[in-house]
Amino acid sequence: MAAPSTATGREWSSWRTIVVFGLVSLTADMLYEGMRAIAGPFLGSLGASALVVGVVTGAGEGVALVLRLVTGAWADRAQRHWRLTVVGYAMTAICVPLLALAPFLGAAGLGVAVALILLERVGKAVRSPAKSALLARVARPTGRGRGFGVHKALDQVGAFSGPLLLAGVAAWTGLQWPGLALLAVPGVICLVLLALLRRHAPVLAVPDQELVAAQRAEPTPRGPRALAASLGAGLPRRFHVFSLATALTTAGLTTFGVISYRFVDVGLVPLAAVPLVYALAMVVGAVASLVTGDLFDRWGGRVLLVVPVLVAVVPFLVFGDALAAVLGGIGLWGAAIGVQDSTVKAFVADLVPDTRRATAYGVFAAVQGVGALVGGAVAGALVEDHVPRLVGGIAVVQVVAFVLTLRAQRAVDQQS
């Protein structure tokens, strides 16, 4: 639905709206990626043990994924996509800078820091499905592949600039809390940009009346049916096939923590250079999201067949003994991450009905989370003494992922 132009200014074009939405994600990523980069040492400085750090960070990621099952379905039922998006970003913009106060709160500092970290992750869960559904709507005229690609590219700028900013401040001051306090600046910018979107892109803030009408025509599930609906019941089979394929590619994408642990352990890269290597991966991911987004709008979901291939090649390189090969593998890893978080989401929008898009994004994220959990555990168990088994196992899993992705794409082709 096209909302009327506001009295205070002209309504923005779809491209301008996407770019500003991307800047919102950029500033938010500076906040939470910066926080995540130092969360372990910061909690340790407040008296947390390694066990506490592991439980808190693990619980945070679990909350950020599992809660999307609830928030995605809620966004679709209540048509509150914009409100949930704003609330989620506001939680990140507020909670992360407040962590700077924890060192000054004495014995209560650790508890406050844990609560703020978990609340920030709740904010991520609140906004993510609703934000993706809004982006899929506004990117319809531009091509969803290009729209998600541009958004992700901007997002990636924040993903590497936030950690680098905190690393620089910590090196300069010798303290961690000043960097967290400095993140209040991108937090304020994030909220200002959201206000500008509300003012100049009312299509985001006003529910799509066609979707509202279609939703009212459907019976509202209650009780066990509502629970089943939030878990993905009733979504097309092709969506579940592709979700499984993406879970398998996610499982094969060994986490950067495991990769960096190994290349530091074998002496290929010094510990101080790890953030720079991560930044390299994020830059490659931004470029990959732009390129594959454009190709997606031309060729459709078949462009995503490259993801299992990339994932299968990565471990051959990153677990090698030559620095050039390792850095090349890191680049491919970053490319796969970029495509997973951009073009893949554009394809999801093509697989499900408009009225259940946020629900689908919530289910999709939860399934990906299971894949990440299993893959991370297996990689961690095998990376020190059984690298050939790890590399071979990932390759076999990616063959299955390739076949499932191809089946999902063929289902879309048959429907069209």
pLDDT in tens, 5-47: 444 458 899 999 999 999 999 999 999 888 877 777 788 888 8
Average pLDDT over all residues of the chain: 84
Q: How far apart are the two ends of the chain, measured CA to CA in Å? A: 24
Tokens representing 398?
Answer: 């990616």
Amino acid letter at 192? V
Residue with tokens 């590497």, as numbered in its chain:
160
Give bridge partners of residue 6 from the DSSP assignment.
9
pTM over 0.85: no
Average pLDDT over residues 371-394: 82
pLDDT of residue 406: 93
What's the confidence (pLDDT) of residue 2?
Answer: 40
Cβ atoms of 69 and 366 within 8 Å: the answer is yes
Fold of 227-415: Growth Hormone; Chain: A; (1.20.1250)
The arithmetic mean of pLDDT across residues 219-231, rounded, is 54
Alpha carbons 373 and 255: distance in angstroms, whole number: 10
* Nearest of 85, 155, 158 to residue 124 by alpha carbon: 85
Read out DSSP for 30-96?
Answer: HHHHHHHHHHHHHHHHTT--HHHHHHHHHHHHHHHHHTHHHHHHHHHHHT-HHHHHHHHHHHHHHHH
> What is the spatial distance between Cα 342 and Cα 169, in angstroms, rounded to a whole number?
31
pLDDT reading at 219 higher than 70: no
User: Inter-axis angle of helices 274-299 and 256-265, to 10 degrees?
Assistant: 140
Report the pLDDT averaged over residues 153-169: 87
Residue 212 is predicted with a pLDDT of 55
d(CA 79, CA 355): 9
CB 332, CB 313: distance < 8 Å: yes
Q: What does the pLDDT average to over 198-211? A: 76
Q: Give me the pLDDT at residue 398, please.
A: 95
CA distance 226 to 218: 13
The answer to whether 67 and 125 have CB atoms below 8 angstroms apart is yes
Boundaries of every domain in the chain? 14-212, 227-415
H or E stretch covering 171? helix 144-173
Q: What are 57-74's pLDDT values in tens digits?
A: 767 776 787 788 888 888
Give the C-alpha separation, 354 to 346, whole Å: 13
Q: How far apart are CA 336 and CA 320, in angstroms?
A: 19
Alpha carbon of residue 66 to chain centroid? 13
To the nearest whole percent, how much of the chain has pLDDT over 70? 89
Torsion from C-alpha of 186, 190, 196, 197, nearest 10 degrees: 150
| 215-223 long-range contacts, CB within 8 A, separation 24+ | 215/76, 215/77, 215/79, 215/355, 218/355, 220/77
Q: Which pLDDT tens digit goes with each residue over 257-300?
A: 677 777 777 888 776 677 678 778 888 888 999 999 999 988 88
Rounded CA-CA distance 274/385 in Å is: 22
Contacts for 168-173: CB closer than 8 Å, 24+ residues apart: 170/38
Check: CATH 3.40.50.720 for 14-212?
A: no
Quick check: 402 pLDDT over 80? Answer: yes
CA distance 22 to 243: 25
Q: Do domains 14-212 and 227-415 have the same CATH topology?
A: yes
pLDDT at 24: 97
Query: So what's the pLDDT on residue 4?
Result: 43
What's the mean pLDDT in 108-113? 93
Q: Which of 169, 188, 171, 189 is nearest to 179 (CA)?
A: 169
